[in-house]
Amino acid sequence: MNFKEQIAQGIPTEIPVKRAYPANANKAPKRKDILSIEEKQLAIRNALRYFPENWHEELASEFAEELKEFGRIYMYRFKPDYKIHARSISEYPAKTSQAAALMLMIQNNLDPAVAQHPEELITYGGNGAVFQNWAQYLLVMHYLSIMTDEQTLHLYSGHPMGLFPSSKNAPRVIVSNGMMIPNYSQPDDWEKFNALGVTQYGQMTAGSFMYIGPQGIVHGTTITVMNAFRKILSKGETPAGKIFLTAGLGGMSGAQPKAGNIAGCITIAAEVNSKAATKRHEQGWVDVLIDNMDELLSRVRQAQATNEVVSIAYIGNIVEIWERFDVENIHIHVGSDQTSLHIPWTGGYYPIDISYEESNRLIREEPAIFKNKVQETLRRHAAAINNHTAKGTYFFDYGNAFLLEASRAGADVMADNKIDFRYASYVQDILGPMCFDYGFGPFRWVCASGKPEDLDATDNIAAAVLQEIMENSPEEIQLQMQDNITWIKDAKKNKMVVGSQARILYADAEGRTKIAEAFNNAIAAGKIGPVVLGRDHHDVSGTDSPYRETSNIYDGSKFTADMAIHNVIGDSFRGATWVSIHNGGGVGWGEVMNGGFGMLLDGTKEAEARLKSMLFYDVNNGIARRSWARNDEAIFAIKREMERSPTLKVTLPNLVKDELLNDLF
Ligand SMILES: NC(=O)c1ccc[n+]([C@@H]2O[C@H](COP(=O)([O-])OP(=O)(O)OC[C@H]3O[C@@H](n4cnc5c(N)ncnc54)[C@H](O)[C@@H]3O)[C@@H](O)[C@H]2O)c1
């Protein structure tokens, strides 16, 4: 059977033979054994409903074994033999190119070069699932191969409920992941219902088929580091010769040195795990590897003296650097931290003065002692940072729960009001007011032909469009425009394509729409093949997350999720090819509602109408909400949009004077 026939077949007619687990695969962590005996029986019954009864006896014991061994039923036996990666859109068997685009994006998210645990259908973040099991994958590909442009496929946490009649203007696929009744949305609930096979954690772009590898995180981190420097530099000053100190060279944190190099500063990233540091060095993501403090001091002084742009990995504990640089009076201009403090007791954060190996032993054998050591280190960590900030260092929390865990450890990190932290997070101080409130966010596209020359052409188109927009853009957004033009011009040089021919580019509503329109025109003129548009969920409108994306909302509404829900519904009837809405993503289940979309541009007039309608809403929904929350930048942006678009009428807030409130209660 060839590739197209295998895709079209779905669940095979003959039971496939049992497969051995591939020797070199990066296996997903074993999940909690959380089900009772009755619940385990229910999980097996649930899994077997995908298959004919005469296979049940053979599969039941195998699935029970998987559940016992891994805490989940992945149905490894049903993983297809063909290579899974983003092929050209023309290679997929489909009646509509929209369905073929979805197959391409799904296969990209499961490509072993892209996905973290491909055998378990996990794209990133340890638990960001595309599907719960291989039966769901097979069935989805089958449905996509037969669907017409008058049908919609509904996915419940990876499970294809079926194809339903709809219309040409409807999305081809509706995705929901991890949606729960709120009172049943605690972490252990997720473990339980995922093990039962009735829900999954889709992270952000894993379960919505829009992941594009490390490029996304590099761009976001670059924007953050550049703007962090802008907060402290005077006009005309550059980051050259100035220090950005941080920790972590892991999954996301590994992007920091590359971003620092693009921003043009001296980056020092501490990493306790020498393997992680060496890997990043070998990959070319960090320039210099140092494991000795004296050497670090002299290398940093040398870089400062020559205004060198360089990134240094220090193999050791971050606290050593904060403390020693204080003693040596080395000024740190910008400081942050990306250790994994969202999981402090299981290896996310390593204590000082204990070896990496000994720490790992303590985690397993003496967890209470380990916890004490972590908290002691956090107190020292915060104290050293406080010494530096007293001397002028700008420190921000990078959404990794550093300030939260430091406060729980009794460190001196609270503001005078004893409610807030004394330092802001990267969204409160940087991404929120400087990007999201103006509508700038992580727009992205994939060239569905799979041709690198198409990606080059789209880069050039996007750069030209931004250049033109910048000529007439107001002072308030000139810097953002310039950063994005610089990024897109250097994008190819930064060599970050892994998997599909994809590009990320921060842009606002005007930029996204005009770039997409120019792509559609180029497709119509036969200059490039079809293009899939999308974005990260970590954006202006898609995500309600009180301690991250919406942490700079101060009217009390940051604990509501109306914006994300309106976004997914609003996008769905304005022309998205697919939409998704997830409970959980980045900060954990129950902590965030987030959604995204995909849209195929095929060069038609219909595609032009769709992109104009949907991209406009997809960004301005969030600006409207941010403006209602009284954020100045968003009020500016939405008023400007209303001037440009007479049919947009947004409710604006009336501001209240402080004096009026002071004596009321
Ligand atoms: N990059 C972003 O845009 C972004 C956004 C939001 C949140 N985050 C958060 O950043 C954190 C890091 O993410 P990740 O994917 O890189 O995790 P990761 O676990 O892969 O990497 C963290 C690294 O920190 C190292 N480390 C731990 N304690 C240390 C110490 N005391 N000194 C020096 N190194 C130490 C670990 O060895 C590990 O390699 C997470 O909490 C994530 O949620 C990142």
Convert the pLDDT of each residue in 94-116 to its tens digit.
999 999 999 999 999 999 989 98
| Ligand 1 close to Cβ of residue 225 (< 6 A) | no
Least confident of 83-87, 114-118, 169-173: 114-118
Find the 252 Cα to ligand 1 centroid distance in Å: 7
| Ligand 1 close to Cβ of residue 311 (< 6 A) | no
Using the predicted structure, report yes or no on whether residue 563 has a pLDDT greater than 90: yes
Q: Is the pTM of this model over 0.85?
A: yes
Looking at residue 457, its pLDDT comes to 98
Looking at residue 588, its pLDDT comes to 84
| pLDDT, mean of residues 240-264 | 94
| Ligand 1 close to Cβ of residue 214 (< 6 A) | no
Q: How many CB atoms lie within 10 A of CB 445?
A: 26
The token pair that represents 633 in the structure block: 């930048």
pLDDT-above-90 percentage for the chain: 89
Looking at residue 78, its pLDDT comes to 98
Looking at residue 329, its pLDDT comes to 97
Question: How much is the mean pLDDT over the chain?
Answer: 96
pLDDT in tens, 259-295: 999 999 999 999 999 998 998 899 889 999 999 999 9
- CA distances in angstroms from 107 to 86, 122, 140, 141, 213, listed in the order given: 5, 12, 11, 10, 13
Q: Could you tell me the pLDDT band of residue 496, with boundaries at 50, 70 and 90?
A: confident
| Ligand 1 close to Cβ of residue 315 (< 6 A) | no
Spacing of C-alpha 102 from chain mean position: 19
Total length of the chain: 665
- Ligand 1 pocket test, candidate residues 258, 340, 363, 378, most atoms within 8 A of CB: 340
| Ligand 1 close to Cβ of residue 252 (< 6 A) | yes
| Ligand 1 close to Cβ of residue 248 (< 6 A) | yes
Find the 306 Cα to ligand 1 centroid distance in Å: 30
Residue 371: CA count within 13 A, CB half-sphere: 9
Distance CA 336, CA 426 (A): 9
Find the 148 Cα to ligand 1 centroid distance in Å: 44
The token pair that represents 84 in the structure block: 């899974």
Using the predicted structure, report yes or no on whether residue 187 has a pLDDT greater than 80: no
| Ligand 1 close to Cβ of residue 384 (< 6 A) | no
| pLDDT, mean of residues 364-384 | 96
Looking at residue 235, its pLDDT comes to 87
- Asked if 440 and 639 touch (Cβ cutoff 8 Å), the reply is no
pLDDT in tens, 581-624: 999 988 888 999 999 999 999 999 999 999 999 999 999 999 99
| pLDDT, mean of residues 153-166 | 98
- Asked if 622 and 432 touch (Cβ cutoff 8 Å), the reply is no
Using the predicted structure, report yes or no on whether residue 385 has a pLDDT greater than 90: yes
Q: Crossing angle, helix 475-490 and helix 452-471, to 10 degrees? A: 160
| pLDDT, mean of residues 315-324 | 98
- Cα–Cα nearest to 51, from 3, 19, 16: 16
Looking at residue 29, its pLDDT comes to 82
How many degrees, rounded to 5, is the angle at CA 545 between CA 540 and CA 549? 35
| pLDDT, mean of residues 78-100 | 98
Closest protein CA for atom 28 of ligand 1: 349
The token pair that represents 245 in the structure block: 């100190």
Q: Could you tell me the pLDDT band of residue 317, with boundaries at 50, 70 and 90?
A: very high
Distance CA 41, CA 33 (A): 14
| Ligand 1 close to Cβ of residue 273 (< 6 A) | yes
Q: Could you tell me the pLDDT band of residue 31, with boundaries at 50, 70 and 90?
A: confident
Please provide residue 62's backbone torsions phi and psi, each rounded to the nearest 5 degrees: -65, -45
Coil, helix or strand at residue 81: coil
Find the 255 Cα to ligand 1 centroid distance in Å: 10
Find the 547 Cα to ligand 1 centroid distance in Å: 17
Distance CA 379, CA 337 (A): 14
Find the 153 Cα to ligand 1 centroid distance in Å: 37
Shortest-distance atom of ligand 1 to CA 381: 31
Bridge-partner residues for 140, per DSSP? none
How many degrees, rounded to 5, is the angle at CA 98 between CA 516 and CA 456? 40
pLDDT in tens, 630-642: 999 999 999 999 9
| Ligand 1 close to Cβ of residue 132 (< 6 A) | no
| Ligand 1 close to Cβ of residue 515 (< 6 A) | no
Using the predicted structure, report yes or no on whether residue 419 has a pLDDT greater than 90: no
pLDDT in tens, 510-546: 999 999 999 999 999 999 999 999 999 999 999 999 9
Find the 567 Cα to ligand 1 centroid distance in Å: 30
Find the 104 Cα to ligand 1 centroid distance in Å: 30
